[in-house]
Chains A and B, each alone.
Chain A
Amino acid sequence: MAKRSNKTTIEAAPEAARNSPMDKKVMQDLLYQMLLIRRFEEKAAEMYAQGKIGGFLHLAVGMEASCVGAISVLRPDDYVIGGYREHGHCLARGSDPRLAMAELFGRIDGLSKGKGGSMHFFDKERNFLGGTGIVGGQLPIGTGAGFAINYRGGDQVCLCFFGDGSVAQGVFHESLNMAALWKLPVIYICENNLYAMGTALSRTQSVTDIYKKAEAYGMPGEQVDGMDVLAVREAVGKAVERARREKIPTLIETRTYRFRGHSMRDPAAAVYRTREEVDEWKKSDPIVLLWDRMSRDGIVTDAEYKGMDKEINQVIEEAVRFADASPEPPLEELLTDVYV
């Protein structure tokens, strides 16, 4: 089985920071976010089965630590862009779960007025730039957001998320090259769940440690345990500071795993990976890992956790009610937003 983490030779994160006392509120927020995303996606799967949601639905159950940990270090004026498995990134950015669910339902109150669907979440208020269904398509666009930050003389950053499949695309290499060349404040976060759809990492990449590709572009690269939200937060936090202050881009590889199939049309995910492998990774469930740690450190009691879960379930139920009640887009929406 592939390793969960590996520190870079270019710049290693100090272990000490991970063992330092973490602000209780921060940890509770991280737990809340991950649980919210988990419950949102579980509910989405249920709604898909009921026919409320159609098309492609790519869930990231098991991968929540990566987006939550990374986005937790951002300022509101920073930018985030993702691919087609981006529900979590959008929710972690603070988007309203009701609008997100309405988007999945294809309703007018959805984030994109029901015209984007699962693969095209956008939220301008939160500088969330999408939402693309073309593997790797977001890499140069996120790079462009970084370009614009420098052009305007700002100190924001852009987090650009993608999967291990994107690394095989030309635009991955073009983007990292330009970002390093032009010193753009972009943090490239490869959420390596070990499968490009159904093809194992070892069958798609000649070098399976993705973070090592940073060296070819002269930027720092780091591999981090993508099931450990605190480790992700720490690694991305450092990269964000470096990007803000020194305009140095970073490639971060979060080693993670999706517990479900590539999409709802791959429910068993059994053709290309074994039950044993999935079960082994489920022992590293990022929510359980954080919860265990918090309860061990006395930061959260079982009762508090159950209370949080209950509150989240109410939020999700309300999101479903909201989405269900929202009308379908009126027919004139067919021809609006084609041009400004």
Chain B
Amino acid sequence: MAIITYREALNQALREEMRRDPRVFLIGEEVGVYQGAYKVSQNLLEEFGPKRVVDTPISEAGFVGVGIGAAMVGLRPVVEMMTFNFAIVALDQIVNHAAKILYMSGGQFKVPMVIRGPGGPAVQLAAQHSQSMESYFYHVPGLKVVRPSTPRDAKGLLKSAIRDDNPVIFIESETLYGTKGEVPDEEYTIPLGVAEVKREGTDVTVIGYMGMLHRALDVAQDLEKEGISIEVVDPRTLRPMDKTTILDSVKKTHRAVVLEAGAGFAGLGAEIATIISEEAFDYLDSPVVRVTGANAPMPYARNLERAKSPDKTRIIAGIKQALAL
């Protein structure tokens, strides 16, 4: 297996799917001549030309709508959000149109499109450019929401998202683009809606994705030295959520900690904690613990930014709380 960056994995997925299906095209700000604001679309313009790698004006609602219209009549657009923070500008097109057209049309018009780009906490980008955007989308029936945490997942899930006939919100991460990992040499996809146990353990289940997942894996290694065995579950797709993998893990470990980078109030941690208490209450030896970002916008100052997101210390505290240690 080759070791490549998360960014390269996404680039490969786009390239392979565009080669595979002439209906697939990439559209967004700076995807072509500039080669992508984060270089995910590097060299795609050269290979596929301006018809299939389309630079747009700064009109998020407009070009998301263009993607929807194109998808309704048979194309398979991949719409890049330079960052997902800007997707709020297109929220009407995403929530009121992309997500609902299949339903409102009684199943006549499907909208097979992917809206992808980086989101989540970044580094000193302050309140508008450094936030977890998935919660704005996973509440919406009709949307699928993916958050891939490794190069292997990024490639396999993006390929599945492009082949999916539903609108898929695919949120990457600025802080992960440069990270490396093993990616199979052969053609592969990873189905949407399937979680993965990223590390097996017996004492407590920790659920997290993106930066939180990597922090959890770090913590698991540290706590192993103290004799605590942690199982780490990565949901990978937030909607539809693979409840089975999460519940099976909790039924084994009897304790759960949910990590969440975003503000905790009404966040995904609340949903996962509810799923566990509704469907695996009898297996629990202690209440589900949430470790979440502070209920504040992202500050610019380094120290405040560090305090905003759950760090290793808070994650360890959460785990020890679940273990009643």
Q: Do A and B come from one complex?
A: yes
B residues 100-142 touching A (CB-CB < 8 Å): 101-110, 112, 141-142
- Given A131-B105, A134-B92, A148-B74, the answer on whether A177 and B57 have CB atoms closer than 8 Å is yes
Q: Is the CB of A140 within 8 A of B106?
A: no
Q: Is the CB of A123 within 8 A of B70?
A: no
Q: Is the CB of A115 within 8 A of B61?
A: no
0 or 1 for each of A124-145: is its CB under 8 Å from B? (1 = yes): 1001011111100101111111
Q: Is the CB of A122 within 8 A of B70?
A: no
- Picked from B66, B103, B110, B165, the residue with its CB within 8 Å of the CB of A140 is B66
- B73 at the binding interface (Cβ < 8 Å): yes
- Count of chain B residues with a beta carbon within 8 Å of a chain A beta carbon: 40
- A256 at the binding interface (Cβ < 8 Å): no
Could you say which residues of chain A place their CB within 8 Å of the CB of B179? none
- B69 at the binding interface (Cβ < 8 Å): yes
Q: Is the CB of B75 within 8 A of A151?
A: yes
- Picked from A143, A178, A337, the residue with its CB within 8 Å of the CB of B107 is A337
CA distance A141 to B103 in the complex (A): 17
Q: Is the CB of A170 within 8 A of B72?
A: no
- A223 at the binding interface (Cβ < 8 Å): no
- Picked from B57, B65, B67, B110, the residue with its CB within 8 Å of the CB of A171 is B65
- A174 at the binding interface (Cβ < 8 Å): yes
- Given A140-B66, A151-B51, the answer on whether A120 and B166 have CB atoms closer than 8 Å is no
Could you say which residues of chain A place their CB within 8 Å of the CB of B106? 110-116, 122, 337
- Given A181-B57, A338-B141, A339-B166, the answer on whether A140 and B105 have CB atoms closer than 8 Å is no
Could you say which residues of chain A place their CB within 8 Å of the CB of B321? none
Could you say which residues of chain B place their CB within 8 Å of the CB of A112? 104-106, 108
Could you say which residues of chain B place their CB within 8 Å of the CB of A147? 66, 69-70
CA distance A190 to B74 in the complex (A): 26
Q: Is the CB of B62 within 8 A of A175?
A: yes
Q: Is the CB of B109 within 8 A of A124?
A: yes
- B64 at the binding interface (Cβ < 8 Å): yes
- B84 at the binding interface (Cβ < 8 Å): no
0 or 1 for each of B88-101: is its CB under 8 Å from A? (1 = yes): 00001100110001
CA distance A113 to B105 in the complex (A): 8
- Given A140-B69, A340-B102, A340-B166, the answer on whether A178 and B142 have CB atoms closer than 8 Å is no
- Picked from A111, A113, A120, A145, the residue with its CB within 8 Å of the CB of B70 is A145
0 or 1 for each of A104-121: is its CB under 8 Å from B? (1 = yes): 000000111111100010
Q: Is the CB of A144 within 8 A of B107?
A: no
- B68 at the binding interface (Cβ < 8 Å): yes
- Picked from A111, A124, A141, A174, the residue with its CB within 8 Å of the CB of B69 is A141
- B295 at the binding interface (Cβ < 8 Å): no
Could you say which residues of chain B place their CB within 8 Å of the CB of A139? 65
Q: Is the CB of A145 within 8 A of B73?
A: yes
Distance in Å: Cβ of A54 to nearest Cβ of chain B:
16
- A188 at the binding interface (Cβ < 8 Å): no
| Least CB separation from A113: chain B residue | B106
Q: Is the CB of A123 within 8 A of B108?
A: yes
CA distance A112 to B92 in the complex (A): 21
- B202 at the binding interface (Cβ < 8 Å): no
CA distance A142 to B96 in the complex (A): 15
- A50 at the binding interface (Cβ < 8 Å): no
| Least CB separation from A144: chain B residue | B69
CA distance A67 to B113 in the complex (A): 30
Q: Is the CB of A137 within 8 A of B166?
A: no
- Given A137-B65, A175-B62, A177-B59, the answer on whether A144 and B104 have CB atoms closer than 8 Å is no
Distance in Å: Cβ of A206 to nearest Cβ of chain B:
21
- A79 at the binding interface (Cβ < 8 Å): yes
CA distance A145 to B73 in the complex (A): 6
Could you say which residues of chain B place their CB within 8 Å of the CB of A274? none
CA distance A133 to B92 in the complex (A): 11
| Least CB separation from A137: chain B residue | B97
| Least CB separation from A160: chain B residue | B69
| Least CB separation from A120: chain B residue | B104
| Least CB separation from A181: chain B residue | B57
Distance in Å: Cβ of A246 to nearest Cβ of chain B:
18
| Least CB separation from A176: chain B residue | B62
- Picked from B59, B62, B67, B72, the residue with its CB within 8 Å of the CB of A129 is B72
- A336 at the binding interface (Cβ < 8 Å): yes
| Least CB separation from B97: chain A residue | A137
A residues 174-223 touching B (CB-CB < 8 Å): 174-175, 177-178, 181
Q: Is the CB of B103 within 8 A of A174?
A: no
CA distance A97 to B104 in the complex (A): 18
Q: Is the CB of A140 within 8 A of B75?
A: no
Q: Is the CB of A137 within 8 A of B92?
A: yes
Could you say which residues of chain B place their CB within 8 Å of the CB of A151? 25, 51, 70, 75
- B63 at the binding interface (Cβ < 8 Å): yes
Distance in Å: Cβ of A77 to nearest Cβ of chain B:
10
State the B residues within 8 Å of A (CB): 25, 51, 56-57, 59, 61-75, 92-93, 96-97, 101-110, 112, 141-142, 144, 165-166
State the A residues within 8 Å of B (CB): 79, 81, 110-116, 120, 122-124, 127, 129-134, 137, 139-149, 151-152, 158, 170-171, 174-175, 177-178, 181, 336-340
4 A-B pairs with least C-beta separation: A144-B69, A140-B65, A174-B62, A113-B106
Known: A141-B93, A175-B62, A340-B102. 7 other contacts (CB 8 A): A116-B106, A120-B104, A140-B61, A140-B66, A140-B68, A148-B69, A177-B62
> Can you list 17 pairs linking A and B with CB atoms under 8 Å apart?
A79-B73, A112-B106, A115-B103, A120-B105, A132-B96, A137-B97, A140-B65, A141-B68, A143-B66, A144-B65, A144-B73, A147-B70, A158-B69, A171-B62, A171-B93, A338-B103, A338-B142
